[in-house]
Amino acid sequence: MTATAVVFAGGGSGGHVFPGLAIAEALRHHAGDDVRCLFICSQRSIDAQILTRAHETFEPIPARPFSTRPGGLARFIASWPGAVRCARAVIRRTMHEADTIHLVAVGGFAAAPAVRAARSLGVPVLMLNLDAVPGKANRWIASRAQRVCTTMDVGIGSWSLIRPIVRRSAVSDDSPQDCRERFGLDRETPTLLVTGGSQGAGTINGLMIALCESAGRALRGWQVIHQAGRDRAQPVSDAYERASVRACVRPFIENMADALRAAELAVSRAGAGSVAEARAALLPTLFIPYPHHRDQHQRRNAQPLVEIGAAALAEDQIDATRNVQTIGVMLEQLLKDAPARASMREALEQLPPPDGAEAVAAIILGL
């Protein structure tokens, strides 16, 4: 029988899976075979893709995201009992295989039904908050958790403030030249990383396509690694080819550590995980927050880095033509301004290490 079992609950995007993987790495580093990790995730393919590649045990549950729209709300309500039952079965089975068990809610719509199941079985819950503005689900979970850890200061005194959470495997020690070569790129050419997160971002893809078509010269002397999202890669790849820009475009980048290490500059959404990984990789980044969040939490995720001169921030105006005229100008300036990029990197180097995963592991293990 395993001494300790930790069930990570959450999913629906890489940003809600990777933090759990980081904490699992830290737990195994401290406890080895005395700890067993299991993931309760959503039925979205991105969860299975990430967890399968990480060789983790996982159980998808039929959870649906909460929505205020009538159709979405009806689907959420209809899915809730089944999702709770599935999560309860996984947790109950795990309870018989370990001396102690903890549930860690890492975010995403699969977390709430798992928390409900854990509470019904008397399993202690630790909630992880990653965003500068906690969402409705996290506020609901926080009221039912024994402990809440947050990587952002959200002004709630009872929540434990920790540093950002980054997987060890997300930081590469290899040379930028070797990492570029793995993407089929030139070893010495400066490289731009473009990513909209694990599922890509349509408006960022559109920005780069429009930039290639209207001002391909902006990327002259650079090459690109671009994570475009499922079924979105070909139009982006074609645009780079027409602009004679050397590029590696993929739906999903399996080894983001190599991409981060290969790059001298990044264009990225500002999800908590993306911000944390850019910080850990010491990578100057132009953050373009997702424009449709009412609370604009992605903007606030990036703001601490922007305030110390470690990153730049742009507003996604959704329309590709307008984005070229605003974000495109900012990007072109950063591509040309090596001293500005060096200054951003120096500011990142002054920050303490993003060791939040170690802090959470220590809490769980009682260290």
Say if 2-163+354-365 and 170-349 have the same CATH topology.
yes
The answer to whether the beta carbons of residues 272 and 108 sit under 8 Å apart is no
Q: Is the dihedral of CA 71, 73, 78, 80 positive or negative?
A: positive
Q: Which CATH class is domain 2-163+354-365?
A: alpha beta
71 to each of 40, 65, 93, 137, how far by Cα in Å? 25, 11, 34, 19
360 to each of 11, 104, 198, 202, 242, how far by Cα in Å? 18, 10, 24, 34, 48
**Was domain 170-349 assigned CATH 3.30.465.10?**
no
Query: Can you read off the two tokens belonging to residue 189?
Result: 């050419």
Q: For the chain (length 367 residues), average pLDDT per consecutive 10?
A: 89 88 94 93 92 95 83 85 96 93 92 96 96 88 95 90 91 95 97 88 92 81 94 92 94 93 97 93 96 82 96 92 92 96 97 95 87
DSSP per position, 234-287: HHHHHHHHHTT--EEEESS-S-HHHHHHH-SEEEE---HHHHHHHHHTT--EEE
Number of Cβ atoms within 10 Å of the Cβ of 308: 13
Q: φ, ψ for residue 165 (rounded to 5)?
A: -110, 120
pLDDT at 260: 97
pLDDT at 269: 94
pLDDT at 129: 95
Residue 149 three-state SS: strand
The answer to whether the beta carbons of residues 205 and 228 sit under 8 Å apart is yes
Separation CA 225–CA 227 (nearest Å): 7
pLDDT at 73: 81
- Domain map of the chain by residue range? 2-163+354-365, 170-349
pLDDT at 279: 95
pLDDT at 360: 96
pLDDT at 215: 61
Query: 3-class secondary structure for 18-41?
Result: HHHHHHHHHHHHHHHHHEEEEEEE
Cα distance between the two ends of the chain: 21
The answer to whether the beta carbons of residues 144 and 125 sit under 8 Å apart is yes
